Amino acid sequence: MDIAFLQFAPQWGDPQHNLAAITAALTNHRFDLIVLPELCFSGYLFASRDVLRAQAESIPDGPTTQALIAMAKQKDAFVIAGLAERDGSKLYNSAVVVGPQGFVGKHRKRHFTPLEARLFDRGEALKVFDLNGVVAGVVICFESWFPEACRALVQQGATLLCSRVSVSFVDH
C-alpha cells in the first residue's frame, strides 16, 4: 500500500479554499491512501462552540465529505481527513474515511486537550476500517498519546494506525 501524507497551513474558516489547496497538492501524485491533518478544512482554533457549530457539517452527507468521496473515486484511493462534525446538537472533532466505493466510516475524537474539551463532544467507540484488506485504526492527534487507544485498535485487528499526519504499521 502506497501511503501519502499532506501537511499544510489551512486557511481558517474557508473549507472551499482548503479543499482546493489539497486537491492542487495531490494532482500529480499517486497513492493508495492519503492521510490529511486534523480539522484541515476549517482550521483548528475556535473561539466558542457557536463558532465551531457554524463551521461543522454532517458526515457523510455534508459537502466536504462528498467532495472527499469524489476525490477518492477520481484517485482510486482511500482518504482519511479531519473535519468538524455536527450531529444534531453534538459537535465532534472527527476523521472521515472514504474510498473509491464511497463512505467507509468515521472516527470521533475521544481524548482532548483542555481547549478541545470546552468545544467538542466526546466520541464513543474505537473502530477499525477495512481499506481493501488492510485493517486501519484511526486516532486523532492527542489521542495517540494514550497507548490504550492504539492497543484497543490493534486488539480489533488493526495492522495500520493513522493519526493526523502520521501512520504506524503494527507488527503482530
Per-residue pLDDT tens for 33-77? 999 999 999 988 889 999 999 999 999 999 999 999 999 999 999
**Catalytic: which of 109, 116, 143, 150?**
109
Give the pLDDT confidence score for residue 18 in this predicted structure.
Answer: 93
Domain that holds residue 157: 3-169
Q: Which of 40, 141, 150, 162 is catalytic?
A: 141
Check residue 164 and give its pLDDT: 66
138, 97 contact by CB (below 8 A): yes
Give, for 40, the enclosing helix (H) or strand (E): none
- Distance between CA atoms of 146 and 10, rounded to whole angstroms? 26
Percent of the chain with pLDDT over 70: 95
Residue 94 pLDDT level (bands cut at 50, 70, 90)? very high
Minimal CA–CA distance to 107: which of 99, 115, 119, 96?
96
pLDDT of residue 167: 41
Q: CATH number, domain at 31?
A: 3.60.110.10
Model pLDDT for residues 115-140, shown as the tens digit of each residue: 899 999 999 989 999 999 999 999 99
| Pairing between β-strand 78-87 and β-strand 33-35 as defined by DSSP bridges | parallel
- Per the structure, the count of domains in the chain is 1
What is the pTM assigned to this prediction? 0.93
Q: Are the C-beta atoms of residues 69 and 60 closer than 8 Å to each other?
A: yes
Distance, C-alpha 59 to centroid of its chain: 11
CB atoms within 10 A of CB 4: 18
150 is catalytic: no
Say whether 85 is catalytic. no
141 given a catalytic annotation: yes
